[in-house]
Amino acid sequence: DGGITQSPKYLFRKEGQNVTLSCEQNLNHDAMYWYRQDPGQGLRLIYYSQIVNDFQKGDIAEGYSVSREKKESFPLTVTSAQKNPTAFYLCASSNPMAANYGYTFGSGTRLTVV
């Protein structure tokens, strides 16, 4: 079945450490996104990519980096510059040409700083 896979489900980061969150999709979607959700808050866009080898900053890109070397993959690195990284991270993909845009989320990664 087609879908989006995020890993790991839970991740613990030490102060000053970089960590990378994985996001893989087999939906053949061109567009992929990373969101951050804090308790009781809405989704905030970190980065998005409309096509391979291209990506754009979202509303809260500081302290994060991404790459889009393959259509299927859009990993997110949380760098040590991100001072408050504890949150729920959601990856999504979409096909802007499809009905309802086919917007689909992965099951998320819960990151905690220890």
Partner 1 sequence: RKEVEQDPGPFNVPEGATVAFNCTYSNSASQSFFWYRQDCRKEPKLLMSVYSSGNEDGRFTAQLNRASQYISLLIRDSKLSDSATYLCVVVNTGGFKTIFGAGTRLFVKA
Rule CB under 8 A: is residue 61 a binding residue for partner 1?
no
Sign of CA dihedral 55, 80, 35, 26: positive
Burial pattern 21-47, b for ≥16 Cβ within 10 A else e, equals: bebbbebebebbbbbbeeeeeeeebbb
Is residue 79 involved in binding partner 1 (CB under 8 A)? Answer: no
What is the rounded CA–CA span in Å between residue 62 and residue 100? 30
35 with 90: CB under 8 angstroms? Answer: yes
The reply on whether position 103 binds partner 1 by CB under 8 A is: yes
Whole-number minimum distance, CB 80 to partner 1, in Å?
27
Q: Minimum Å distance from CB 90 to partner 1? A: 6
Q: Under rule CB under 8 A, which residues in 18-47 are in contact with partner 1?
A: 31, 33, 35, 40-43, 45
Lookup: tokens for 102: 């086919």
Contact range with partner 1 by CB under 8 A, out of 21-29, 63-71, 74-82, 105-113? 105-113
What minimum distance in Å lies between the beta carbon of 77 and partner 1? 21
- Residue 2: phi and psi, rounded to 5, are -75, 150
Binding site for partner 1 (CB under 8 A): 31, 33, 35, 40-43, 45, 48, 50, 88, 90, 94, 96-97, 100-101, 103, 105-108, 110
